[in-house]
Amino acid sequence: MTQALALKEKLEARGHIIVAVIVGTTNLSQLPSFFKKEFSCPLYAVESPRFIVDKQGKGIKVFASTLITIWRIPRYLNSLKKIKKIIADLQPDILINFYEPLAGNYYRLTKDQRPLFCIGHQHFISHPAFRFPKISLIARLSFKFYNRLAAPARSIKIALSFTAETDQPQKKLFVCPPLIRKVFLNQIPTTQNFILVYLLNAGYHQEIIDWCQKNPEQKITAFWDKFGEAETYFGSNLSFHYLDGEKFIAYLTTCSAYASTAGFDSIAEAAYLQKNVLMVPTINHFEQKCNAIDAQRAGIASTADNFNISLLKNNQQKTHSPEALQLFKKWVDDYNDKIVTLLEN
């Protein structure tokens, strides 16, 4: 969602019009308000494949996710029909896909002749500079297969990367810096005495609570996906918040360090603000493991198997450097418009 917002800013600044946004979700009301309020065009919800989380709320149940995806194929076929009708009604010039398999399959099945641009860090795994983490062969093949679902052979792949790398035009693969929202580009970061934490899955919150109880002198502000709970306190040094765009930006700009499950966007935003970053990949989330190993390769973050904030606070596992963070910021600043130029051309 943050990638879509960042690209929206760039496109509209160059005079382009976004005619619609289609989101893979069962309920538009559960989308964060910061996302919905930024778009003046229609927003459409379609049911899309999604992961099933384990009882602890920490990891992905791969087998269960696969089974329920197969079970719901008739629903996804209806989603494809809805996508086809929306596109037929609006007649856009180009299509942009942020790693949604339904979009890739729409393009594959309908043989739509408009350009389809598939954007994501996931596509960087096809670049020679990428190195896979230690995951099983099945996991690696599954990741590649999902990439093919989201990005058909005819599509143009835009690989978001932590480092500047050469394009691979023979593969229709072009490397661009992460999509950083304008609000971050304009921020002047400061350092206050608290660590910011973001959890993709709320099940990790107990690790944060346990650490804070043992380290009462350290203040932590955390965000989680527990829908409907705006603010929850666990002692005097720990507060949890439901994701709010403006609040998150303010905390990320002023925190002393940042710890998160290993998503791509907020890690890139924290690195752009020159923050000390710790990444904890969600269990069985192969994409997040790839994000973490690639951030380590770029020298902008360290990684761990759990939220031991001491690693971050005491720099015990520091694998990044000020020089690497500065190089990352320069990559973003110098090639900020490359992605829009690719779309226009």
For residues 313-335, average pLDDT: 81
pLDDT at 316: 47
The residue written with tokens 């297969």 in the block is 145
Q: What is the CATH number of domain 2-181+335-344?
A: 3.40.50.2000
For residues 298-309, average pLDDT: 90
pLDDT tens digits along 187-215 = 999 999 999 999 877 678 888 999 999 99
pLDDT at 163: 96
Task: Provide the pLDDT confidence category of residue 58 given band limits of 50, 70 and 90.
Answer: low
pLDDT at 34: 80
Q: Phi and psi dihedrals of 42, rounded to 5?
A: -65, 145
* Beta-carbon count within 10 A of 314 CB: 9
Domain 2-181+335-344 shares a fold with domain 183-333:
yes
pLDDT at 285: 81
Domain ranges across the chain: 2-181+335-344, 183-333
Which amino acid belongs to residue 12? E
H helices of 258-302, in order, are 265-272, 286-298
3-state secondary structure of 156: strand
Q: Extract the runs of DSSP E, i.e. beta strands, from 121-247.
A: 156-160, 173-176, 195-198, 220-224, 231-233, 238-242
H helices of 215-334, in order, are 245-254, 265-272, 286-298, 309-313, 322-334
Looking at per-residue pLDDT, the higher value among 231 and 147 belongs to 147
Please determine, for residue 63, whether its predicted confidence score (pLDDT) is greater than 80.
no
The residue written with tokens 């942009």 in the block is 96
pLDDT at 287: 87
Percent of the chain with pLDDT over 90: 61
pLDDT tens digits along 9-55 = 999 999 999 999 999 887 777 787 888 889 989 999 998 887 776 66
Length of the chain: 345
Supply the pTM of this predicted model: 0.88
Please determine, for residue 236, whether its predicted confidence score (pLDDT) is greater than 50.
yes
Residue 248 in tokens: 């998150």
257: nearest Cα among 314, 201, 194, 300 = 194
Give, in words, the CATH class of 183-333: alpha beta
